[in-house]
Every structure is written in C-alpha cells, then in structure tokens.
Structure 1
Amino acid sequence: MEPAALDVAIAAVNFTLAAIFAGILGVWVYFLTYMTKSFRLAPRMDDYHYYPLAPANGGSDSKPKVSVILPARNEEKYIARCLDTLLAQDYPNFEVIAINDNSTDRTGEIIQSYAVRDRRIVYVSTPAKPEGWAGKNWACHQGYKKASGEYLFFTDADTEHAPDVMSLAVGRMLSEGLDALTAIPRLLCNDFWTKVTLPALSTFLHTRFSPLRVNDPKHKTGYFFGSFFVITKKTYEAVGTHEGVRQELVEDGALGNKVKAAGFRMKMVRGEKHVEAIWARDFTTLWHGLRRLVIPLYHQDHTGAHLIAVAVFFIMFAPFLFLGYTVPAFFALAANSGGLGGLSATILLGVHVATILMLLATTAVQSKLGVMQSPAYALGSPLSGALIYLGFASAIVDARKKGAVSWRDRQYTVSEKQNFLH
C-alpha cells in the first residue's frame, strides 16, 4: 500500500476510535451529571418534619404495629448484631419475625436464644422449599404468614439499623400517605475486590434505579432495596406477596416494580446514615452477585442482556484495554511522521485520556458519596471493568445451564418465565 493510502487508512481507524471514545466520554459525563443531581436532590430518611412518638397504648393515638420480616440462612456471623440493632429501636410497637431458612450453621440456635430472652422475637423455621420458589422468597412468605402488624418491614440478616430508623420510616409513611418506603443503605465492603468494583457497578446502575426515577409517579421504575423496605400489609397482599415473585432471584427489585406498576404510592430515600448492609462478603459472593443480576434478565430479554454486556465492555473496560493501541500509535505517528495519521493519533489520544479521566472522576465521586469509602479505590477501575464484564458475559454463556446461579449455598436454574424488573 502506498504511504499516502496507508496514512489515510490509519487515520480512518483513529478517527473511528476517537468517535467511539467521544461517545463513551459523553456517557460518563451523563453518569456524573445525573449522579450528582441525584445525590443533591434525593430525599433523605430524616429530612421531613418529625413528630413525637405516641405510646403504644391501644388508643387512637398509638402507632401501628410493625412486623419485621427477617429471613436468615447460614448467617451465624451476622444475625446477632442485626437482632441487637432491631431490638434497640425506639419505636414502641413492633415484633421481629426471624426466619431460619434451613441453615446448616448456628443461625437457628442464635435466633432461638434471642426469642427466649425477648418476647418481641418470633422464631420461625421454614419447611422445605417447594419447587419453583427461590429460597429467600419462600422464607419471606413464611414470615409474612406469622406477621400480625399493619406494616411489614423487610430486611436482611447482614444489615444493621440505627435506633430511630423504624420511627423515621413509619412516621414518614404516615405523614406522606405512602404505601411503601425503601432506603438506600450504606453498602459495606469487606474485601479489596468489592471495594474497587462496587463504585463502578453502582454508577452503572444508578441512573436506572435512582430515587429521582422511583419517586416520579410518571416514571415506570420501581425498586426496593432488600436490606430495608417497609410496606403496608394491604399493599403487600394486593401485589401478590412474595408468592407473586416466587421465582425471582432479585426479588426485592421485582416486588418494588410490582408496587409501582400497580399505582401505589412509594418512595425511595437515602438512608446511609441509618442503615448499613453488606453487598458482597468476599470475591466468591461478589462474582455470583454479578451473575445473579444478569441471568434473570437474559431469560426475560436475550437481546437486552447481550446489549448490556456489550455496553459494559465499551463503557467500563475498553478505555483501559485500548490504551495498548492509542499510546503507541501516538508516539509512532504524531511524534515522528505527522500528517493525517499523526493528527488523528493526537486527537484520539486526547479524547481517550479525557474519557479515562472522566471515568475515574465519576467512580471516585461514587466511591466517596455513594459507597462512602476512599475515592482512591477508583484507581481500581481497570480491574472492576474487567470483572464486571466477565461476570456479565459468563452469566449469559451459562444462563441456560442447570444450576446456573449459586446464591446462599443453593443452586438455581432460571426459567424463561421470570420477568426481572421490566
């Protein structure tokens, strides 16, 4: 090929890549803009007029009874602390339905010891999980059948609660006439891989499940955080209880979606100062957590799942992967030969570097304000991008296999009937 023709061909490749990275840069600018707007405008758990508690004396001024639904499977490391923070609530009228979901460790023993000491705790042992049910969904349903409260407060065994969180939640629901309320928890990261992965993953998911969308009656998005949502029993029954989402692996999101779709009044608030939860406990649970997000989506929308995996590759991983081309091309063309190829290499390097800087800045903000950890973990973005993409891609490859999902020591085969967060 003639030098001039080769120069044009190289320039065409460089300009194409520059255009792609300009698009990725635009995505990260949008993420940062929307995310900071959401942090600024999203309501907080305690930013409403708080009124004093009335005694639970059975009179007209008493607080409605709250039934805490607490499923637990092999949670001996966390369950005691969760129960301690629930029993320390300043709300005067509640019970804790603690469900031992066929644990093989000391979880059931610990719950029973608490139930003996405090009559507010009701111990439930689940019968064997029927075919067609996810384990946690079955446990929650068993807890609901034992609940006597007007309000159902669902949480997880690895979650800790501030003493006033139940009062704040119920008070807000009463004052605003809400049917359901969920709180964004502070997500605790115990290991290096979760610390570098969660900021990028949270950023990617933030726009879809932002409080700005969930709280907008005109928007279809509905979502619950499994670590904290409160719903009236009437509303819960009206949307079919957990039986209506019995096969869902992301049951909290699916249930929140049903509440929103049915036209009930729901709100998402920032509760990081009041609720702390663990999203992944180690690399293994992180990996399966990533796969758990995608496999149900694949069965609901094959094309959509593939597009998400491709988008993750380009948005999160490609900017770092393609540095192996951009930097050498710049030094080979712009620094030595000039011409159209050199110009294109210079433009490509500028757009590429801007994209990476915006990616790092956005994940640093999410790490600081969302995950509440050092923004320095954003420097692990190349690792997190690769891990998230590989997790999503492997989930799509394995989606049709028996036992494709492993979660809480159980294997699940996901059916085509699952609808996962329409």
Structure 2
Amino acid sequence: MNGIPGWTIDALALSVLALQVPMALILLARLLPSLRRPAPLPPGIPDSPPLPGSVSVIVPTLNEAERIDPCLQGLHAQGSALREVLVVDSRSQDGTPEKVWAMATRDPRFRLVTDDPLPAGWVGRPWALHYGFLKSDPASEWILGIDADTRPQPGLVERLLETAQNQGFDLITLAPQFILQHWGEGWLQPALLVTLIYRYGAAGDPAAFPERTMANGQCMLVRRSVLECMDGYTVARASFCDDVTLVRQIAAAGFKVGFWDGRHLLKVRMYTSFGETWREWGRSLDLKDATPTPQLWGDVALLVLTQGIPWITVVGLFASAGMGVAFSLTEQLLLGLNLGLIAFRFGLLAGIRGSYQDPPWTFWLSPLADPLAVLRIVLSALSRPRAWRGRTY
C-alpha cells in the first residue's frame, strides 16, 4: 500500500494489538461489576414526614440568572427536613441576587450571602461552598451542596437523608439525569460522559480505593461533623474538580462515601451547544487536580486505546483492504477487537439512555464523537485552566 512493505503494516498492527488487548481486559474488569450495581434511587415522596436531622443547602452562584429559576423552585418544593438555603453569590452582575431576593420573600428558608473576595490560592466554587458552610446554621447536621444549573425534584432532600442514614454514609453524591436539547451537545456530551465511565465505572459502583472514588458536586450531601473534621472545603481549595478532590480526601480519611444514580431526583441542564460543552465541561473532566500523575496518564492511555482509536483503526484497516491489500491474521485480530470495542460502546450507550431526558437524535450517534472526546481529555490533561466562570486565575 503506497509503497509501504506489508511486514511494516503487520508490525504496526501487532504493536497496536499488543497495547489494546490488556487495556480492553482492564476495561471489561472495570465495567462488568456495573451489571450488579444498585438500581437508581427511587423518586422522593413529597411532604413525607421529616427524618431525624436537618439540612442546610449551599448554592454557589456567579451570574446564573438565566438558569437558576428551576433550581430555586425545586428547592422551594422540598419538605421540612430542609432548614435553610444559602445562595452564596460572588457579586453577580446579571440579576441573580434579585431572583434570590424574590424567592426569599416567598420562602423564609432562603438567604442571599455575598462571599468575601476570593482569597489567594482558592478557586471560586470551593471558596463559595466553604464560605456558605461557615455561615450555615450550626444546628444543621447535614450540608447539601447544589449547583445553580440543577433542577431538584420533589422529595430530593428526604430521599438523600434516608439513603445516607440507612446505608451509613457520611457523604453521598448523585449522578443526575441530563437534559440535552441542542444537536451538538447531544452528540458530544454522552461521549464525554463515557470517558468517566470507562475510567471509574457507573454510578453505584463502589470504589476499591479512595483515589478511584467518583463524585458529582452538583448534588453532594455531607455530614457537618465530617466537614468540621476536614476544615470545610479547604482540602479542595485550589482544585478545578473540587468535588472529586474533596470526596477522595474524605474517603481517604476513613469516612464512608457513596455515588448513586439519582436520575429520578435530580435533573440538570449544563450546557447549550457543542462549543460550550467542549470548552466548559471538557476542561475539567481529566480530574488531574484529584488524581496522582501515574493514574492520570494510565487512564488517558486506556481511553485512547479503548475509546479513542477503535473507529480510526477500523476505518484504516478497511481503507487498506479497499486498496487491494489482504488482511493478515494480525490485522484480522485487530479488526475483530476494534469492532468488538465499538459494539461494546453502542451497548453502553443503550445502558446510559436512562440518564438522559428525551435526548436529540444525535445522542445515538455519539460513539462517533469518541475520538474528539478523548482528544479533549488529553488536551485538558496537558493544561491548567486560566479562566473559569468569569474569573481569571
């Protein structure tokens, strides 16, 4: 083919095969336990009797006026286990404070708090959460961090408390149900989500080691006593993936943490286009701030070999066959492995369908975005954000 000796192509195929086989086995070993993972938490029961204990909710905000209304309404609908909602605002200029004040006139549990200027060494989100924790009512036994783009469903707080107390968790986070509307986000976002599943398993899978614990800071319930022991959110102060950093530190300290499928309890509309999904979500999904360097690049290698190159490999092999080059035994094995990885990927896509609310048709083509998604993780792992949510670091 184009003057390239057949033995050279065969040697390249053998090299790729030798790298892919062990990574494919690791992937299977990592994801097969997901077949036995717990079912999604059931929907909450509105107006159910309050459980022992009380909850302070902290919502960090910075110019969230366009998307905070569903979050405020969802929290307003929570039952009496919710003691207070502290919206910690970092001097928004778009009308966010006015929306919180309007809700506070309807529900006295809501309170607007303006955080102090960002201290040196802190990232904005963990600072807002830490500031809210310090200002929260000491009588609250639990602290629930909620992001402004989430849509809490009725009974969320009660169901979280029930699960944490019945299962003995000191911290519990939820994987939400995603709302996708634009064709671009419908194509790219599921591919980016799968990079997390390939590395850490599905929500509900227990982590064997603290450094492999997964979390979602969009909804994180933690005992006040645990945060007091950890000096609040200080351990995650400089992290752009502060949720995972905090949870792994708490797990390493010996506390019991859980990551559950909360599709019936929490919905989220994160981004609105391909470009926004690429920029905003993609730059933190490498989780380098929470991950040892050898583990980070080992996981990147797994993504490249099992999610990033199967399509490229298959297309390349068929292109060579189309030019009259017969497949060697090595190339046949390589083709079979990569077709198997692609089939596995489509099966996983069907498995995560319930994590999406009426996704656009491009959702079903998202495996074709896998090479781009993996490229985004690689680019993110090689750099550190300089700007985030309107702040420059």
**Shared topology, TM-score over 0.5?**
yes
| Match of residue 176 from structure 2 | 185
1:88, 1:48 → 2: CA distance?
Answer: 12
> Shift in Å at residue 163 of structure 1?
1.3
Of the structure 1 ranges 116-125 and 199-208, higher mean CA displacement relative to structure 2 is found in 199-208
| Match of residue 107 from structure 1 | 96
- 1:184 and 1:271 in contact (8 A); partners too: yes
Matched residues, number: 386
2:216, 2:67 → 1: CA distance?
Answer: 18
2:308, 2:212 → 1: CA distance?
Answer: 27
2:142 paired residue among 146, 151, 174: 151
| Match of residue 354 from structure 1 | 340
Cα deviations by residue, 1:279-306 (Å, 9 ceiling, x for unpaired): 4343234323222233x61796455444
Of the structure 1 ranges 168-177 and 146-155, higher mean CA displacement relative to structure 2 is found in 168-177
| Match of residue 73 from structure 2 | 84
- 1:209 and 1:222 in contact (8 A); partners too: no
Of the structure 1 ranges 317-326 and 158-167, higher mean CA displacement relative to structure 2 is found in 317-326
1:370 paired residue among 331, 337, 355: 355
Amino acid at match of 2:392: Q
Are residues 50 and 238 of structure 1, via their aligned partners in 2, closer, same or farther at CA, if it must alter by over 3 Å?
Answer: farther
Are residues 130 and 190 of structure 1, via their aligned partners in 2, closer, same or farther at CA, if it must alter by over 3 Å?
Answer: farther
1:63-82 matches, cutoff 5 A:
63-82=52-71
1:293 paired residue among 275, 285, 291: 285
Amino acid at match of 2:351: V
Q: Does 1:96 align with 2:85?
A: yes
Cα deviations by residue, 1:234-286 (Å, 9 ceiling, x for unpaired): 11111121123211111111111122112223333221011112343432343
Cα deviations by residue, 1:14-33 (Å, 9 ceiling, x for unpaired): 44445555556545655653
2:292, 2:193 → 1: CA distance?
Answer: 22
- 1:224 and 1:255 in contact (8 A); partners too: no
Are residues 114 and 322 of structure 1, via their aligned partners in 2, closer, same or farther at CA, if it must alter by over 3 Å?
Answer: same
Q: Does 1:173 align with 2:144?
A: no
Amino acid at match of 1:94: R
| Match of residue 420 from structure 1 | none
Taking only aligned residues, the RMSD between alpha carbons, in angstroms, comes to: 3.3
| Match of residue 409 from structure 1 | 390
Amino acid at match of 1:259: I
| Match of residue 271 from structure 1 | 262
Cα deviations by residue, 1:35-56 (Å, 9 ceiling, x for unpaired): 4x1xx422543399999615xx
1:389, 1:357 → 2: CA distance?
Answer: 18
1:160, 1:49 → 2: CA distance?
Answer: 16
Are residues 289 and 272 of structure 1, via their aligned partners in 2, closer, same or farther at CA, if it must alter by over 3 Å?
Answer: same
- 1:183 and 1:225 in contact (8 A); partners too: yes
2:229 paired residue among 208, 228, 238: 238
Are residues 303 and 82 of structure 1, via their aligned partners in 2, closer, same or farther at CA, if it must alter by over 3 Å?
Answer: same
Amino acid at match of 2:378: A
Are residues 29 and 47 of structure 1, via their aligned partners in 2, closer, same or farther at CA, if it must alter by over 3 Å?
Answer: same
- 2:43 and 2:265 in contact (8 A); partners too: no
Are residues 25 and 310 of structure 1, via their aligned partners in 2, closer, same or farther at CA, if it must alter by over 3 Å?
Answer: closer
Of the structure 1 ranges 116-125 and 9-18, higher mean CA displacement relative to structure 2 is found in 9-18
1:6-405 matches, cutoff 5 A:
6-20=5-19, 22-23=21-22, 26=25, 29-30=28-29, 33-35=32-34, 37=35, 40-46=36-42, 53=49, 63-148=52-137, 149-206=140-197, 207-208=199-200, 210-214=202-206, 221-282=212-273, 283-294=275-286, 297=288, 301-333=292-324, 342-366=328-352, 368-371=353-356, 377-382=363-368, 384-399=369-384, 404-405=385-386
Secondary structure class of the residue paired with 1:84: helix
Of the structure 1 ranges 302-311 and 63-72, higher mean CA displacement relative to structure 2 is found in 302-311
1:68, 1:47 → 2: CA distance?
Answer: 19
The structure with the largest alpha-carbon Rg is 1
Are residues 396 and 265 of structure 1, via their aligned partners in 2, closer, same or farther at CA, if it must alter by over 3 Å?
Answer: closer
1:51, 1:204 → 2: CA distance?
Answer: 38
1:18, 1:179 → 2: CA distance?
Answer: 44
> Shift in Å at residue 381 of structure 1?
2.1
Are residues 8 and 177 of structure 1, via their aligned partners in 2, closer, same or farther at CA, if it must alter by over 3 Å?
Answer: closer
> Shift in Å at residue 388 of structure 1?
2.1
- 1:223 and 1:255 in contact (8 A); partners too: no
1:162, 1:33 → 2: CA distance?
Answer: 30
Are residues 376 and 128 of structure 1, via their aligned partners in 2, closer, same or farther at CA, if it must alter by over 3 Å?
Answer: closer
- 2:178 and 2:268 in contact (8 A); partners too: yes
1:134, 1:305 → 2: CA distance?
Answer: 21
Of the structure 1 ranges 221-230 and 25-34, higher mean CA displacement relative to structure 2 is found in 25-34
Amino acid at match of 1:235: V
